[in-house]
Amino acid sequence: MARRDRDSAESILRGGLVGIALVTAATVGLAAAAAVVALVISLLY
């Protein structure tokens, strides 16, 4: 039982870090694209 809890905690940690990192990267990527767009549009107005 303790072993399974430990594995589960480890898997949450590992998978979580990778998953969260990828989602954050996706958000940042979107933000970067949006920043470029915003820059262009701010130059127009």
Partner 1 sequence: MLFRPSADDLRVIGRYTGKVVYAVGVAMLLPLVVAVGAGERNDAYAFVVGASLAITVGAASQLLRTRTTLDAARGLAVVGSAWLVAPVFGAVPLLLSGHYASYLDAYFEGMSGFATVGLTLANDLDHMARSVNLWRHIMQLMGGQGIILVVLTIFASAGAVIGTLHTGEGRGERILPNITHTARFILRVVVAYAGMGMGLLWLLLWRGGLEAATAAYHAALLFTTAFHTAGFAPQSASAAFYRSQPVEVVLMVLMVAGAFSFALHYQLWQGRRGELSRNLETRTLAVSIIAIFAVLAVGLGRTGVHTDFGGLFRVGFFQTINAHTTTGLTTIPHRLFVTQWGALAPAMLVTAMALGGMAGSTAGGIKAIRIGVLLKGLRRDIRKVLLPENAVVVESYHSTTRRVLRDDLVRGAATILLLYLLLYLAGGILGLFYGYELTLSLFESTAAGATGGLSVGIVRPDLEWPLKLLYIAQMFIGRLEFLAALALGGYVLSMLRGRT
The residue whose two tokens read 């949450």 is 12
Tokens of 29: 């990527």
Q: What minimum distance in Å lies between the beta carbon of 10 and partner 1?
A: 11
Task: Give the residue with the Cβ less far from partner 1, 6 or 13.
Answer: 13
Tokens of 41: 């549009």
List of residues 6+ apart from 9 with CB closer than 8 A: none
Tokens of 35: 């920043």
Residues 8-27 as x/- pattern, contact with partner 1 by CB under 8 A? x--xxx-xxxxxx-xxxxxx
User: Footprint of partner 1 on this chain (CB under 8 A)?
Assistant: 8, 11-13, 15-20, 22-27, 29-31, 33-35, 37-39, 41-42, 44-45
